[in-house]
Amino acid sequence: MFKLFKAELKKIFLKPSIFVVTGLIIAMLAVSTFVYKPDTRTDYAKSYGSYETVNEYYERFINTEESIGKKRSDERVNLAINYVNQYANGENAVETLINDWRAVEALFNTTGNSDYVGLYSNWESATNAAQKASLKNDLATKRQQLLTAIQNFKAKYEELSSKDQTSFLVTKSLDDVIIKEHFFKIQSIFDNASGKTDPDGFIINELTTYKAFALVFNDLNQLLPFIPAESVINEFKTTKIVDEVEVENEESPIVIAKNKLDALFDTIYEFNESKKLESESKPQDKAQIVEYFNEYYSISNYLYIVVSNGIKVSALSKYTAMNISVYKNYDGANFYELKETYTKYRFLLDNGLYEYNFAEPFSVTQPSNLEINGFDYSYFALRLCTFFITIYVVVLAAGTIAGEQSAGTLKLLAIRPFGRSKLLRAKILATLAIGAILIFVSSLASMVVGLVTYGLNFTNILVVFNASSAFVLNPLVLYFIAMLTMFVEVMFYAILSVFISTVFKSNIAAVAISILLFFVSLIINVVAVNVPLLGLIPFVNVNFFKYFGSSFLQNTGTIFQMILTPSVFSGSTFWSSFILYSLTFTIILVITHVIFKKRDIK
Amino acid sequence: MAKFVLEVNKLTKKYGERAAVDNVSFEIIEGEIFGLIGPNGAGKTTIIKMITGLATPTNGEIYIDGISLKKHFEKAISRLGGIIENPDLYSYMTGMENLKFFASLYPNITQEKIDSVVKLVGMEKRINDRVRNYSLGMKQRVGIAQALLHDPKILILDEPTNGLDPNGIRDMRKFLIGLSRKKHISILVSSHILSEMEQLCDTVAIIDGGKILQIKTLEQIKRGLQEGQKVCIKVDYPNYAGKLVILKYKIPVSLAGKTIMFNMEDSKIPEVTTMLMKEGISIYGINTITKTLEEVFTEMLEQQHNKGQIR
Ligand SMILES: Nc1ncnc2c1ncn2[C@@H]1O[C@H](COP(=O)(O)OP(=O)(O)O)[C@@H](O)[C@H]1O
Ligand SMILES: [Mg+2]
């Protein structure tokens, strides 16, 4: 079969189209040098200004109210501790909010049912003015109570939901349906009543007031899908993350961070003491103390991120991606992204490492280091080339079955001493080999262009794989992984094209459908990353580079950058995508094989 | 017993309910040129596709050089070379590139071998041109060249004369006969034009509606044609002469003017004339009318169709 594979491969090189695609790749490399304009990357290391002495830096660090100072850093640690305590101790704002809502609900039940519903009949059966007056009075009081309760609830809710940390705890509740029913019932009573005799204008008056009240309620209605559910809070109290970050726990990141900060501050203090009397400090000393400050700032910051994201991750992990996406303030939440961030900072915190010492995974949105280097350009150029390579390979794959069938040459291949399975396998392998060769050649060429234009920066890259484990990787290794993932992507569309070309015996259908799906997947990637169900479509799950730590960049940048950035769907993981990919791939391959083996060749 | 280079046994191919090939059996021995003759749609291509493994038979077996095609596909198919329907080649390659491509699919086919095959089909001059610039005849030759690269035991050609001009047809015929004599290669060739096959094939199978009507060797055909020939004798007393012939040979005789006509082989004509002259009849002229192969073929098909209609 190797003979057949070699012959098939050689045949592809004899096709004129190979020159076209090579030309396109070269053109792409040239174009890339002009279009490659990533956003600048944030420098995670903080600036503490420029002073003459170490002591002046020290004073700034101690006294400043800015986020880089010690005060705010320590505050962040306390905030994290409070955060944990708030949920660990049971009594918290969300629970209070629930109680408030229950009060509103109770009032609504009595006022809505017995009072408002009975209003009209009571009013008509009232025989004298005194009765009417008392009825009026009664209702006005109750209405006012209800209004106050609702407004009170609304205010608290809004205050709470403006704090991002708590709103994730609210979940969709059925209660709102009951409340809405009340509202509509009362509304219809008033609508009926307004046509009846109303000598002293009481009903009209009540109606007007009610409508004003309904406006508040309507407003509130927007919040109703997110009424907090007690079950969430109860479950939440026992979650692992809370145990893990428990202040008393030796292993807890809080304890670890606090100990580190204390030790670090001792170092800073002593360093300053030893240099305090200098009138002009050595540059390396100044640099040293700024580095300490940065470490201090980073540790407090990482702790805060770990605690807040950790709590969110553990709370949200009980829910499906669908549920998460409808939470208030979480309609854009991506579970994967939250977890990736948590894992990254947990890794840094646990290992005493600092973000600013590492590069970030390659992306088309920002350079991996502060400055653009050859790897960034090369990744960008390769990403663009992959478009053409995918299209070319799809065309080849379609041609190798349906194309040769309609040209009649498939007959000449089928009468060689190779069974049909071997023939199919050789053809598929040759197509894939071309894909691999083109990707390899493009990356090599773009790497050379990158090296010449920008130089290469070999700073290690901090990679979070599958949002669950962090690694430090050499950029070359990550670049190789990027190449591999692009090949895996190309491979999918190639197989798809072989499949369609075998099943429908149509060259054009295979090319059209495969390329259409390819473009659809790019669009889905951009517009629908937060619709978890879309994550289940096999062909949007074929680029695995997104599982190597750059999901925080998805859906950022220009449309062009978004198209080039594969995004992780909220509920997906590397393994879910992997299984989906392998399954689709295998099924397609088996069907193709069976059909091709059995079919008579025209 | 001679070993068959190709043995086809009770081959049937059904498309849905309809049998495109119905219980066909035949054998080809070494060096034999075997013709499948039948009108369009008779099932020739379908038979050839099954023999070359392109289509799976509904029923029946195929042995190439004694090897079962079904059980040992790779081994059996490597003894076969051919062109099915059209001489389709890779049009973006040159003839030579095509040949090299197909050669690379077999073990140990040297460049010398390729060159010798090119010479054999007489394509030395144009072999390095792109196939898309070839005439049909040139494609046909390169097509045959690719089929001969691996020295097959049997060469299978589906309507090789289709689209060729009379000169081309004659060249092709000469070439194939030469090939079979020189290389002792067996050839299975199909056509819907009997006369083209007449001088080419050792054996022909007449096929229609998926069935083989007759299998005949060239001798049998020639004899058959003679048996069918009409002898016309112009005499002075046709009625008397006719009676004499009827009495002696017990065969029908027809009259047309002064001519009597009856069926008879060449070898008996002297006997008849001697007899007539002995009886005092003057003979003004003797004439034989032979049916062409085409006429026999058409008659045969008509008979078959009539049978079909009665049934
Ligand atoms: N794939 C097919 N499906 C259905 N019928 C077919 C198919 N291929 C051939 N046939 C039918 O089988 C018969 C024999 O066709 P074919 O072998 O091509 O005849 P020939 O080569 O003698 O002209 C024809 O009636 C044709 O319509
Ligand atoms: Mg045919």
Are residues B166 and B19 both part of a single domain? yes
Domain housing B276: 229-289
Give this complex's ipTM: 0.83
DSSP character at residue A40: P
Place of tokens 């499949």: A499
Q: Count other Cβ atoms within 10 Å, centred on residue A7.
A: 19
User: Is B115 part of any domain?
Assistant: yes
SS3 A415: coil
Q: Across residues A428-441, what is the average pLDDT?
A: 95
Provide the pLDDT for residue A78.
87
pLDDT grade for B263, boundaries at 50, 70 and 90: confident
Of A206-210, B4-8, B100-104, B297-301, the range with the lowest mean pLDDT is: A206-210
Are residues B15 and B89 both part of a single domain? yes
pLDDT grade for A120, boundaries at 50, 70 and 90: low
Are residues B199 and B52 both part of a single domain? yes
Q: Each residue of B60-116: pLDDT tens digit?
A: 999 999 999 999 999 999 999 999 888 899 999 999 999 999 999 998 899 999 999
Are residues B54 and B145 both part of a single domain? yes
Closest among A240, A466, A236, A521 to A336, alpha carbons compared: A466
State yes or no: pLDDT of B196 exceeds 80.
Answer: no
Q: Each residue of A287-325: pLDDT tens digit?
A: 999 999 999 999 999 998 888 787 777 766 766 666 666
Are residues B104 and B12 both part of a single domain? yes
Provide the pLDDT for residue A91.
45
At A297, the amino acid letter reads Y
Of A190-204, A367-381, B134-148, B184-198, the range with the lowest mean pLDDT is: A190-204
Domain boundaries, chain A: 2-42+361-598, 54-86+230-318, 92-225
Closest among A469, A261, A267, A450 to A374, alpha carbons compared: A450
CA distances to A337, A338, A567, B31 from A533, rounded to whole Å, are 17, 19, 14, 68
Provide the pLDDT for residue B308.
54
Q: Each residue of A540-560: pLDDT tens digit?
A: 888 899 999 888 888 788 888
State yes or no: pLDDT of B226 exceeds 80.
Answer: no
Give the sign of the dihedral formed by CA A208, CA A213, CA A219, CA A221: negative
User: Is B23 part of any domain?
Assistant: yes
User: Is B297 part of any domain?
Assistant: no
Q: Count other Cβ atoms within 10 Å, centred on residue A441.
A: 14
What's the pTM? 0.80
Provide the pLDDT for residue A521.
85
SS3 A9: helix
Beta partners for A170? Answer: A228
Provide the pLDDT for residue A164.
46
Q: Across residues B151-168, what is the average pLDDT?
A: 89
B43 within ligand 1 shell (Cβ under 6 A): yes
Burial class of A293 by CB neighbour count within 10 A (0 to 12, 13 to 18, 19+): buried
pLDDT grade for A191, boundaries at 50, 70 and 90: low
Residues of B in contact with A14 (CB under 8 A): 90, 92-93, 97
State yes or no: pLDDT of A265 exceeds 60.
Answer: yes
Q: Across residues A267-275, what is the average pLDDT?
A: 91
Atom of ligand 1 nearest to the CA of B49: 17
Q: Across residues A203-209, what is the average pLDDT?
A: 64
Domain at B143, CATH number: 3.40.50.300
Q: Which of B207, B223, B239 is the last residue of a domain?
A: B223
State yes or no: pLDDT of A571 exceeds 90.
Answer: no
State yes or no: pLDDT of A234 exceeds 50.
Answer: no
Are residues B172 and B242 both part of a single domain? no
Of A142-146, A255-259, A348-352, B245-249, the range with the lowest mean pLDDT is: A142-146
User: Is B216 part of any domain?
Assistant: yes
DSSP character at residue B123: -
At A397, the amino acid letter reads A
Maximum Cα–Cα distance across chain B? 78
Are residues B91 and B49 both part of a single domain? yes
Are residues B49 and B135 both part of a single domain? yes
**A139 and A148 in contact (C-beta within 8 Å)?**
no
Query: Quick check: A10 contacting B, CB < 8 Å?
Result: yes
Inter-chain touch B78–A419, beta carbons under 8 Å: no
Ligand nearest to the CA of A505: 1
Are residues B154 and B256 both part of a single domain? no
Are residues B125 and B75 both part of a single domain? yes
Of A122-126, A197-201, A430-434, B248-252, the range with the lowest mean pLDDT is: A197-201
Total domains in the fold of chain B:
2
User: Is B310 part of any domain?
Assistant: no
Are residues B186 and B144 both part of a single domain? yes
State yes or no: pLDDT of B1 exceeds 50.
Answer: no
**A222 and A170 in contact (C-beta within 8 Å)?**
no
B101 within ligand 1 shell (Cβ under 6 A): no
Q: Across residues B221-233, what is the average pLDDT?
A: 77
| Gap from CA of B158 to ligand 2 centroid (Å) | 7
Output the average pLDDT for chain A.
80
Q: Each residue of A84-93: pLDDT tens digit?
A: 766 655 445 5
pLDDT grade for A235, boundaries at 50, 70 and 90: very low
User: Is B15 part of any domain?
Assistant: yes
Query: Quick check: A1 contacting B, CB < 8 Å?
Result: no
Q: Each residue of A125-170: pLDDT tens digit?
A: 777 777 777 777 777 777 677 777 777 776 776 666 555 444 444 4
Inter-chain touch A417–B105, beta carbons under 8 Å: yes
- The whole-angstrom distance between residue A115's C-alpha and the CA centroid of its chain comes to 49
> What is the distance between the alpha carbons of residues B89 and A407, in angstroms, rounded to a whole number?
8
Atom of ligand 1 nearest to the CA of B85: 21
Inter-chain touch A3–B105, beta carbons under 8 Å: yes
Are residues B61 and B131 both part of a single domain? yes
Of B52, B84, B88, the CB nearest to A407: B88
* Distance in angstroms between the alpha carbons of the first and the last residue of chain B: 39
Provide the pLDDT for residue A239.
44
Beta partners for B28? Answer: B6
A 13-72 residues with CB < 8 A to B: 14-16
Q: Which residue of A has its CA nearest to B86?
A: A408
More confident residue, B172 or A90: B172
CB-based contacts of A269, cutoff 8 Å, min separation 6: none
Mutate to test the interface with B, among A3, A12, A400, A416 (most CBs of B within 10 A): A416
